[in-house]
Structure 1
């Protein structure tokens, strides 16, 4: 038995905890555990299929072998191979999870039955903070029951960690590996272990994982549309900008602007606002630990204390060479080429190659330091007494996140020419004699500012739950097999503090450096020296090279003695949310003809109260100009009754019909509820929180067929529909008059009216429907010569009537929603060797609607990963893994692919590891 352990992942090692599934019998669970003990990838798939089969609703699961034995960098990437699950990537790293291609905020996440805090600004969980090695199993539940804390419009991700009585014998497993990134050319270590044992009625388990990651990303990005209203609305001393822009546009394109203040005309002529070349260096230190103390004096009583702790320190250096064509003191000089055909259906003309009068060239040295500490503690009770099954939970989940972000800016105003390329955009010298080579003119760049922002987020949640269930056998109602009811109370709080300090000189209040100190007065280095791995964009010929200030030098030089950042009252907010839930549900067992049927039906009552604190800007009461932050608070709440029903019918021994219906909700992000105001100067907008936001609701149903094959094989198809209402969108809700806006050089740009936008619940309902296909089976079913080979594949296709909020009425799906996703894994294994090749694909989706007008798409992306393992001895296994082995780039575009907005490389990643059991 011991030797077979080594085909498992470091924690899987843990031979497999029994996930909680409503209708799984004790002997079935024991059989599954024994399967995992004999351990292999194929066996772990069998176990996941057994969990799916015995769950009353639509669900899919993975266990520890599958979580950590694949190449991955965090928990998000470990989940991407599940049916209907895709991830959002940030510079090559999986960060958030999408279920059935719906936005990540539609997914509810819990660990050991407790909703998870992660320190993000919303309710979506930042999965990149979690080490996958400390996770024992994950179930994605796609059709809720009344007993669930939250259903999730997309689904619920239920994560479990290991417990000592999950195992038949003592466990002690250690693993280590080293991973190499092809761009940074750095090698990173990772280490993990698990130890578990039982002592009579008591059991104890600890696990630990620690990893470092250095990843470089090269990106031609930040390329976006800017409407010509940027200049056509200029007046007074800046009137020349409007006149020249309109004249050049008519001369070079034939497009005539009859009214410079008619945004229906000016917003449909767009140009490149910015072209940026960026090199990122991302350094991460991550650790995670679990502990479990379990008291189990009998098979009918178990009391368990679970703890999960971790830390995630992430420092990202960004070095940005950017040209802002839309400079506040610029205008069109010459239009070299334009496109009036690609977006003609929307009446949009794109100026694709333009010389500008005064581009704002910038070198930006940005340092983003994020430190996240998370913790979770829970005490759970499982007790069978007097024919009652009683379960209870007391828990706390919390995260603290401290962010120190800085931006050193040097600026040079000069004429230049910006244009689209196949991979993004470029800025070159124009015909104007005052034009400069933006990459090689350090004496032309003047110090503008060194801005430091400090943000602190505290995210806490307390929960208590008590459930009662009783199996029944009533003569007068023999089909009623079980009743269950319970109560749950949660108290969630999120608090944000933020402050900023801008340095313009060598001491507080001193601005002597501004517009006098040049870039070459600082210690500047080649970009290839600031980030490891050599030349910028070495994958492409002719990529630019430049020199700028390193972040270490910037921190030492510009944070003068006595420098500090104080939190500002106006930036504070806090939201407290209390939820009381009551539910009742029943299980019915009966036959229709010769076909057994299981029906679960129930209802949940939810009572939510919200109290939001913050500050609003109010006119100074002493008659002076300006605004002063004043504290304000508001309470609110809502009550809902949410029914659900899940049915499964055994059409034959191997064929199952499954159906489900539910009403569910996803609450708005606490950051959107909070009283706060942020400003986007370049967009002439304020954005306010909205304490009156209500949840987004969904009526959803699903029907599917599942055919269970031998040896854990599965063929499944399901069709689902969701009617979603109350979608949270940004909307214009007011105007602030006479706001003074300043240029980067300190001069007054002008006095403008700023629009006020808030998140609101959109009117009307929208439909989302989809088909999900699953094929999982050993290929030996097709021919004996294929013994050891197998396939695990799934495909999800979506159709929706949801539209994004484009002020120009450009049709667009909501942010984050992809039409097609699929995953396919081909594997082979024998007693000593295993290999897996996995491809994950996600169709294009909208990342953001730029300026609430132009949808920016993340292009379709597919990634090929590889895992090889060899059992050296009974006690030692070595593995070789590769991530993105074909070195795929990430692309984005605005509305159409001919207008690229990003071209990004994060490289390949290869790791060599060893595991041992003692």
Structure 2
């Protein structure tokens, strides 16, 4: 069972305190489990001096949802993004996940993803005792959480104060199959409770089986420039939009996580403590994405045989001969490894408390992404008239059989091979607190220093069709598709009658198809042999080294009236950021595009290092006033900041002549700044119950947007082909001005103890968030566009039932549709439709020590649907239900 409620604000050194009370006394009645946790959360909210929320485990390390992001989505104002049906990142109050600072026991964790958001899939929930969401800051809190700071808290052994252990075994059933989850946790104290140790291990595996339709938007093209009649009306005078590609695919494979944690505490007396904790997690994805891909942007032969214009320049139906069928199956082999260690101590001397900590973290990602490229040519049509906002109908014409031998020609083998990315952090801080009498209760001050280095390298394997044919001993045709051989022997069938079976629209499409299998080719030619014969190349324009150093000073004063009705804190944080970025600036006049393999080659360039620094002063104020014994009002004001993503400030440039885009970094962008104000009112109408309302306002400055511009560049078509002018859209981040975000939050929780037995075990938690976000232009002088990632409304409703041996909850989470990308590849935008998910969890105790848990996520098998600005479907993903059944033994 989970608790959704606030956590009291604490200094950075203390944010790891877990909520370990197992029994709470209320009006001489003892309660345990979820009621105990709810009572503690209500008490914490009443006493807190900032606006915050928390989720606490019912028992040490026991969360019904293994994914912490999915647990956090129950918190008021929190929304999540998913990856392969699993919660990945968390956004708070409408801002992108990169504005949420995620800490582990009060310290930052590195992430090799390159953005500031944290991927929760790499962490196991079995080691976590509480998750705290701090929505307003205090000066000692690490800067960077412009929307909120989330602290992942593990249990401290001396705070538990006794021997405790738990062993859990669980089966996880996904549409792809059933896999195990095993965990063990042990904590104990020694030497008269002066030394404590906690140890935990966790292993889990998921069988992936996602199914999706994927498009890239509607490409705009003038018939005169393209040289063919798109709408088959007999002239070339029109400029029209057509679906760039209609791809049907399966995301299959495994995700595997191995985690180990250890925590140590030594407290020989009441004045001194020495502590340390270690975390190591390895997250491996081994997946294959076979597609049935129809690329209407590359057509040869008889073109534009039939089309339908919807009246606004979009072709909602298009049939053509010679359409490019790119039925590849690209591998995804990614190993993410995270290491983090901290050592800290505290010392109390009369009124003074001193706390110090040093920490080190490293995240390393090694990625391979390989594909045997094949091309077929077909007479094929897409038809959005059967399902405008979903999946189009797709049909083959002229007797074309995509399963016939020899239909697909192999044109090369390529992809990333063991390409590394690293993010390394080093941090140190020193904090002082002095307790006082009178109106000023205490003063706190301290300093912090940190460094971060983000490295991206490049290793790309590229083998041409002629070389492959020679190695395989098959006939090579230098004319077909610019040089190819029959790819049929290295293809296999994917899909089947159950493909996208949950789709309830009226469109029809192939449910099975042939895709090139890179593993089939690698059985004939080992990867080691290919690397020896064709050493992977290093594309310098994809290489970068970003170094970021921070220095911070802070001061805070806590104050209150003599009667204790008014309390609060005020102070400021000064932070200096020093940034050095290394990258390679390419010569864009020498681009080569290999159309067959869809690879864009940009020549090497000269290295360039860019250095800069900036300073920020971040004041904050938090006030709490007790209007009466059961009614508390709060006010908070602060300036907050978030630094640009690491991959935004890398001076790298990537070019895709396939979708005609140029994407560049920008080391000169300024950090995001926001002035924010919060007001809340909380009514505690019983010991365990609460009703609250909050209003928040953020004025965000220096908002970084993906600016767009159009450039025409000459691109050589193959190594020996002609150079032709190509119109590219350049995407580059830039500071786009100011915007305002405001909203309201409502939260309610109550156990229904007023009902007669056995109904007195019921209870309810519910919350609702409404957000009104401003618009931002994405190009100079352009019109304002919707802020990405913002759902106007979101809500959660959880109904639970708990008795000593049985507990269950049913929870529904909903968020409105939100903008994913204002421009996308072709300027027609992309947004995610509204989404709601229903989850269930049931606990049953056979004995006080042995229990069973049954949980189910996404009970209604809801898909994720994406559309463009004209409402045409450009994505449909189904990941199915996830069911977990397990046993847990506590001792």
Structures share fold, TM-score greater than 0.5: yes
Query: Match for residue 410 of structure 2?
Result: 447
Q: 2:770 aligned with 1:797, yes or no?
A: yes
Counterpart Cα distance in 1 of 2:123 and 2:151? 14
Corresponding residue number in structure 2 for 1:344: none
* TM-aligned CA deviation for residue 567 of structure 1: 3.6
Measured in 2, the distance between the counterparts of 1:508 and 1:472 equals 78
Mind listing any 5+ residue stretches in structure 1 that lack a counterpart? 1-7, 235-239, 258-265, 341-347
CA contact (8 A) 2:710 2:727 kept: no
Aligned-residue CA RMSD (Å): 3.2
Instruction: Write the deviation string for residues 506-563 of structure 1: whole angstroms up to 9, x where unpaired.
Output: 758979477465555314332148xxxx732233585522223334213324556532
Whether the aligned pair in 2 keeps the contact of 1:19 and 1:137 (CA below 8 Å) is: no
Q: Does residue 615 of structure 1 match 2:588?
A: no
Aligned pairs for 1:742-753 (under 5 A) are: 742=718, 748=722, 750-752=724-726
CA distance in 1 between partners of 2:274 and 2:847 (Å): 38
CA distance in 1, matches of 2:267, 2:213: 58
How many Å apart are 1:781 and its aligned residue?
Answer: 4.2
| Counterpart in the other structure of 2:221 | 228
Q: Output the CA distance in 2 between the equivalents of 1:24 and 1:146.
A: 13
SS of 2:753's equivalent in the other structure is helix
- Given the superposition, is the C-alpha separation of residues 568 and 275 from structure 1 closer, same or farther in structure 2, using an over 3 Å criterion? closer
1:507–1:29 Cα change, 3 Å: closer
For residues 25 and 96 of structure 1, what CA distance do their matches in structure 2 show? Answer: 24
Shift of 1:224: 2.0
1:458 to 414, 422, 434: 422
1:448–1:35 CA distance, 2 compared to 1 (3 A): farther
Aligned to 1:480: 440
Structure 1 residue 650: deviation in Å?
Answer: 0.7
The 1:619–1:525 alpha-carbon spacing in structure 2 relative to 1, beyond 3 Å, is closer
Contact 2:738–2:776 (Cα < 8 Å) also in 1: no
Structure 1 or 2: larger helix share? 1
Residues 7 and 52 in structure 2, CA contact (< 8 A), matched pair in contact too = no
Q: Which moved more, 1:847-856 or 1:873-882?
A: 847-856
Are residues 1:307 and 2:298 paired? Answer: no
How far off is 1:495 after superposition?
Answer: 0.4
Decide whether the 8 Å contact of 2:773 with 2:787 is kept in 1. no
Whether 1:780 and 2:753 are equivalent positions in the alignment is yes
Q: What does 1:133-148 correspond to in 2, within 5 Å? A: 133-148=126-141
Whether the 8 Å CA contact 1:472–1:480 is kept in 2: the answer is: yes
Which of 180, 193, 212 is residue 189 of structure 1 equivalent to? 180
Given that residues 73 and 93 in structure 1 are in contact (C-alpha distance below 8 angstroms), is that contact kept between their aligned partners in structure 2? no
Distance 2:81 2:803 in 1: 34
Do the aligned partners of 2:9 and 2:134 also contact (CA within 8 Å) in 1?
no
Equivalence map 1:550-569=2 (5 Å):
550-557=517-524, 559=526, 562-564=529-531, 565-569=536-540
Quick one: structure 1 residues 58 and 332, their matched pair in 2 at CA, closer, same or farther if it must change by over 3 Å? farther
How far, CA to CA, are the matches of 1:222 and 1:749 in structure 2? 28
Which residue number corresponds to residue 5 of structure 1? none
**Would you say the 8 A contact 2:623–2:634 is kept in 1?**
yes
* Aligned mate of 1:339, from 298, 310, 318: 310
Is contact 1:222-1:276 (8 Å) kept?
A: yes
Separation (CA, whole Å) in 1 of partners of 2:18 and 2:627: 24
List per-residue Cα deviations over 1:33-76 (Å, max 9, x = no partner): 64499641232232233333332111100112399755534222
Displacement of 1:404 in angstroms is 0.5
In the alignment, what sits opposite 1:345? Answer: none
Deviation at 1:356, TM superposition (A): 2.5
* SS of residue in 1 equivalent to 2:266: strand
| Secondary structure, counterpart of 1:146 in structure 2 | coil
| Residues 459 and 707 of structure 1: CA distance in aligned 2, closer, same or farther (over 3 Å) | same
For residue 734 of structure 1, report the CA deviation from its aligned partner. Answer: 8.3
The 8 Å contact of residues 688 and 758 in structure 1, kept in 2 or not, is answered as: yes
Relative to 1, partners in 2 of residues 1:783 and 1:213: Cα closer, same or farther, differing over 3 Å? same
- How far off its partner does 1:866 sit? 0.6
The CA deviation at 1:840 is 0.9
The Cα offsets for residues 248-298 of structure 1, whole Å up to 9 and x where unpaired, read as 3879xxxx64xxxxxxxx4xx322111111111130110112101111112
1:282-293 counterparts in 2 under 5 A? Answer: 282-293=253-264
Structure-2 residue corresponding to 1:680: 656
Q: How many angstroms apart in 1 are the aligned matches of 2:36 and 2:18?
A: 14
TM-score under structure 2 normalisation? 0.89
Q: Given the superposition, is the C-alpha separation of residues 799 and 330 from structure 1 closer, same or farther in structure 2, using an over 3 Å criterion?
A: farther
Q: Which consecutive residues of structure 2, in runs of 5 or more, have no partner in the other structure?
A: 591-600
The alpha-carbon deviation at position 889 of structure 1 amounts to 1.7
Partner of 1:4: none
Cα deviation 1:892-914 (Å, max 9, x = unaligned): 111254x1112221111111110
CA 1:250/1:43 → structure 2, altered by over 3 Å: closer, same or farther? farther
Residue 551 (structure 2) pairs with residue 580 (structure 1): yes
CA contact (8 A) 2:6 2:133 kept: no
Mapped to 2, the partners of 1:156 and 1:80 lie a distance apart of: 15
* Aligned-partner SS, 1:211: strand
Q: Relative to structure 1, is the Cα distance of residues 895 and 807 closer, same or farther in structure 2, using a 3 angstrom cutoff?
A: farther
| Post-superposition offset of 1:300 | 2.7
Q: Secondary structure at the match of 2:360?
A: strand
Residue correspondence of structure 1 range 660-671 to structure 2 within 5 A: 660-671=636-647
1:356 pairs with 314, 320, 327, which one?
320
**Does the CA-based 8 Å contact 1:537-1:543 persist in structure 2?**
no
Give the Å deviation of 1:737.
4.0
Match of 1:837 in 2: 810
- Aligned position for 1:76: 69
Aligned-pair CA distance for 1:406:
1.1
User: Is 1:597 the counterpart of 2:566 in the alignment?
Assistant: yes
Q: 2:741 aligns with which of 744, 764, 768?
A: 768
Instruction: Tell me the residue number matched to 1:260.
Output: none
Partner of 2:597: none
